[in-house]
Amino acid sequence: MRYKIIFILPALIATLLIFIFSNQSHPPLIDLGFQWNDKLLHLIAYFAYGTTLIFFLFGSFDNINLKRAIIYILIFGAVFGVSDELHQSLIPGRDAEVFDWVADCLGIIISLSLLSPLYKIVKKLKFNFLNSSN
């Protein structure tokens, strides 16, 4: 059971990092030199977040249904994105933007393209952890 922390921890860290950046009035941004720079950063952040959710689900739960996992990841990612935008609206100098949320959702959706290879990696890691502790 202790092996599950390696699957849970990345999702917790990603959640915390998104919260920390959202909690800043002027978060440090990488300027990529075009108008919708922040939307691309949202997409990248939520792509990474979706990837950690995949690790979390498949690493923490045995025999989770693939379709159900996709639905959970989409719903949780979208709801977390909404809560992130609402949180930003409470921070001075920040506001909530629908297109930020759309970029968040696209990042989650794109992360699902890695579902099959990540599932195989998680399955192998779980097997190795379970067999090394015996």
Which residue shows structure tokens 């059971």? 1
What would the pLDDT profile of 32-43 be if each residue is shown by its tens digit? Answer: 777 778 899 999
Could you tell me which residue, 78 or 3, shows the higher pLDDT?
A: 78
Tell me, what's the pLDDT at 133? Answer: 58
Residues 6+ apart with CB under 8 A from 55: 7, 10, 11, 118, 122
The proportion of the chain whose per-residue pLDDT surpasses 70, expressed as a percent, equals: 93
pTM value is 0.85
User: What backbone phi and psi angles, to 5 degrees, belong to 40?
Assistant: -65, -40
Closest CA to 86 of 77, 96, 76: 96
Query: Up-side HSE of residue 59: CA atoms within 13 Å toward CB?
Result: 24
**Cα distances (angstroms) measured from residue 59 to each of 12, 16, 23, 40:** 14, 20, 29, 28
Provide the H-helix boundaries in 1-134: 5-22, 37-60, 66-89, 98-111, 115-132
Which of 114, 92, 109 is closest to 42 using CA atoms?
Answer: 109
Task: Please choose, from the candidates 81, 110, 108, 111, the residue with its C-alpha nearest in 3D space to the C-alpha of residue 97.
Answer: 81
Cα 38 to chain center, whole Å?
17
pLDDT confidence of residue 58: 85
- Is the pLDDT at 19 greater than 70? The verdict is yes
Residue 107 contacts residue 43 (beta carbons within 8 Å): yes
73-86 mean pLDDT: 96
Would you list the domain boundaries of the chain?
2-17+36-128
Per-residue pLDDT at 14: 96
Q: How far apart are CA 12 and CA 21, in angstroms?
A: 14
Give the pLDDT of residue 44.
Answer: 94
